[in-house]
Amino acid sequence: MPSTPPHPEPPGSTSTPLPPPSKVATPAEQRALAFFAIAAMAAIAWILQPVSIGILLGALTAFSLQPLYDRLRRRTRRSALAALACTLVAAVGFTVTLGGLSFLFVARGGVMARGLYAWLNEGGGGRALMNRLASSMGSMRFKPDQLAAKLQDAAAEVASRAAQIAAAVASATFSMLLVFFFLLMTVFFTLERWKDLAKQAEIMLPLRPRYTHDLLEEFRRVGRTTLLGTVATGLAQGVLAGFGYFITGVPEAAFLGAATAVASLLPGVGTLLVWVPAGIFLIATGHPAMGALELGWGMLAVVGASDYLIRPALIGRHSTLPALLTFAGLFGGVEAFGLIGLILGPLVMALSFSLLRLYAHDAQGQPD
């Protein structure tokens, strides 16, 4: 069969054939793509900033629940179902913890403040105790009335603030629910898609795939370590301390247990701010045996068992970050970011240290 002749160009046409499409981007195109990629990442970060705390805590919670997720996925053979179960566990855990702490601080804190105010009144046990201390100090005497008045003012301030705190919690309900929603969404997404995200990051980031893999693993390890070491260990210390307050007869043991859990977040002194004054209070009020028992319990159980048994069981003993940098990350993180810096500080410090270690590794010409 004869071949069909090509269609002739229309009269007056001056078009030239288009060049074949290039399969490799030019250097100028690569620079433009890199610029737009950075701009896109900055835009995403700016938009997500109001819920960034929820996303960060959700990712760290997912890392902490990874062993449970792996077991459920092997048993059910369905990754989505395993991720959903872990998300429900996270939802219940956060709800119970935050709800319990809020109730203890708002309700029981106000009761304790009013009881302290009455204890410091004329004829109360606190005023009599300060009079005895003042008379026994000789030349170092202080004025019990002035001290009792200042303590009463502080107690009255705490009692009045309890209602204000309750109102503030109610007004912040929407923003808290929004953060909580993104936290749970991030838990589910991270558990189910982390491997895919890691593979995409290895392709997109301008690093060797092995380096990107190491940084992501460091992020996951340090995130899990920080969250469990900070939050879970603090809750365990609060429970142990509350049991000690209960058996030694310290008033409002549940409230002081919650206060101990919160104080454990403070670097350095931590739980000492609560159980040491509780022991001294028992000794000063005529219960030296119970006071000594409380101090011993705080030293052995609240500090010793938590730091040497509970914390290592939760996070393990392996750490690539020197203790000095970890401690500096805690204090510097609190100074730079506020309370969330207790998590962000060690996390940023560990990732920065890992980057420097990879740079030194590459500068020395060592193989992967």
Q: Is there a domain that residue 18 lies in?
A: no
Residue 297 burial (CB < 10 Å; 0-12/13-18/19+)? buried
User: Do the domain assignments include residue 4?
Assistant: no
**pLDDT at residue 81 tops 80:** yes
Q: Are residues 172 and 227 part of one domain?
A: no
Residue 367 placed within a domain: no
| Residue 258 pLDDT exceeds 50 | yes
For residue 202, pLDDT over 50 is answered with: yes
Last residue of a domain, one of 137, 171, 192: 192
Mean pLDDT of 122-150: 56
pLDDT at 89: 93
- CA 355, distance to chain mean position in Å, is 23
Residue 96 CA from chain centroid, whole number: 16
- Average of pLDDT values for 137-147? 53
Residue of higher predicted confidence among 280 and 15? 280
Q: Helix, strand or coil for residue 18?
A: coil
The pLDDT of residue 88 is 95
Is residue 24 one of the residues assigned to a domain? Answer: no
Query: Which of 361-365's residues contact partners 24+ apart within 8 Å by CB, and which partners?
Result: 362/211
Q: Is 231 within the bounds of a domain? A: yes
Residue 59, CA distances (Å) to 4, 91, 131, 154 in order: 64, 14, 55, 40
The reply to whether 213 and 345 lie within a common domain is yes
**In terms of domains, do 237 and 177 share one?**
no
Of 107 and 52, the structure prediction assigns the larger pLDDT to: 52
Flag the least confident range among 45-59, 69-83, 263-277.
263-277
State the total domains in the chain.
Answer: 2
Count H helices and E strands in the chain, helices first.
16, 0
d(CA 112, CA 255): 8
Whole-angstrom distance, CA of residue 215 vs CA of residue 357: 11
Same domain (yes/no): 246, 183: no
Residue 62 included in any domain: yes
| pLDDT-based confidence at residue 211 (cuts at 50, 70, 90) | confident
User: What's the Cα-to-Cα distance from 18 to each of 10, 12, 15, 21, 28, rounded to whole Å?
Assistant: 17, 18, 9, 9, 21
CB neighbour class for 225 (10 Å; exposed up to 12, middle 13-18, buried from 19): buried
Q: By the 8 A CB rule, do 83 and 192 touch?
A: yes
Q: Are residues 233 and 188 in the same domain?
A: no
CB 263 within 8 A of CB 271: yes
Average the pLDDT over 168-183 and give the result. Answer: 73
Q: Are residues 268 and 353 in the same domain?
A: yes
Average pLDDT estimate for 305-310: 78
Mean pLDDT over each residue of the chain, to the nearest integer: 76
Closest Cα partner for 263 from 277, 252, 249, 251? 277
What CA–CA distance (Å, rounded) separates 255 from 238? 10
Q: What's the pLDDT at 87?
A: 94
- Of the candidate ranges 19-28, 250-259, 319-328, the one whose mean pLDDT is the lowest: 19-28
Please compute Rg for the chain using Cα positions. 30
Q: To the nearest whole percent, how much of the chain has pLDDT over 70?
A: 69
On whether both 70 and 153 belong to a single domain, the answer is yes
Asked whether residue 351 is assigned to any structural domain, the reply reads yes
Distance CA 146, CA 330 (A): 38
Domain carrying residue 347: 205-362
Spatial separation of the C-alpha atoms in residues 150 and 21, rounded to whole Å: 82
Q: Are residues 352 and 214 in the same domain?
A: yes
Instruction: Please give the pLDDT value at position 293.
Output: 92
Global pTM reads 0.68
Q: Within 10 Å of residue 207's Cβ, how many Cβ atoms? A: 16
Both 211 and 183 in a single domain? no
Per-residue pLDDT tens digits for 30-70: 788 878 888 888 898 888 888 888 888 899 899 989 989 99
244 and 272, same domain (yes or no):
yes
Q: Is 9 inside a domain boundary?
A: no
Residue at a domain's end among 192, 221, 255: 192
Summarize pLDDT for 346-355 with one digit per residue, the tens. Answer: 788 878 887 8
- Is pLDDT larger for residue 343 or for residue 241? 241
Q: How many CB atoms lie within 10 A of CB 118?
A: 13
Q: Taking a C-beta distance cutoff of 8 angstroms, is the pair 166, 104 a contact? A: no
Same domain, 215 and 327: yes
**DSSP-derived secondary structure for 57-118:** HHHHHHHHTHHHHHHHHHHHS-HHHHHHHHHHHHHHHHHHHHHHHHHIIIIIHHHHHHHHHH
**pLDDT number for residue 103:** 75
- Mean pLDDT for 117-139 is 58
14-31 confidence digits (pLDDT tens): 555 555 555 666 878 778
First to last CA, the chain: 62
Question: What is residue 152's predicted lDDT score, i.e. its pLDDT?
Answer: 52
Residue in the block written with tokens 């049991």: 243
- Do residue 174 and residue 237 come from a single domain? no
183-189 mean pLDDT: 93
The three-class DSSP label of residue 153 is: helix
- Please list, residue by residue across 145-168, b when 16 or more beta carbons sit within 10 angstroms of its beta carbon and e when fewer do: eebbeebbeebeebbeebeeebee
User: Above 90 in pLDDT, residue 84?
Assistant: yes
* Token pair for 366: 């060592």
Task: Give the pLDDT band of residue 1 (cuts 50, 70, 90).
Answer: very low
- pLDDT at position 249 over 80: yes
State residue 62's pLDDT score: 92
Contacting residues for 37 by C-beta, under 8 A, at least 6 apart? 204
Separation CA 183–CA 62 (nearest Å): 10
Decide: 333 and 341 in contact? Cβ < 8 Å: yes
In terms of pLDDT, which residue wins out, 135 or 176? 176
Q: Which residue did the predictor score with more confidence, 330 or 261?
A: 261
Q: DSSP state, 20?
A: P
Report whether pLDDT(171) > 80. no
Last residue of a domain, one of 137, 169, 192: 192
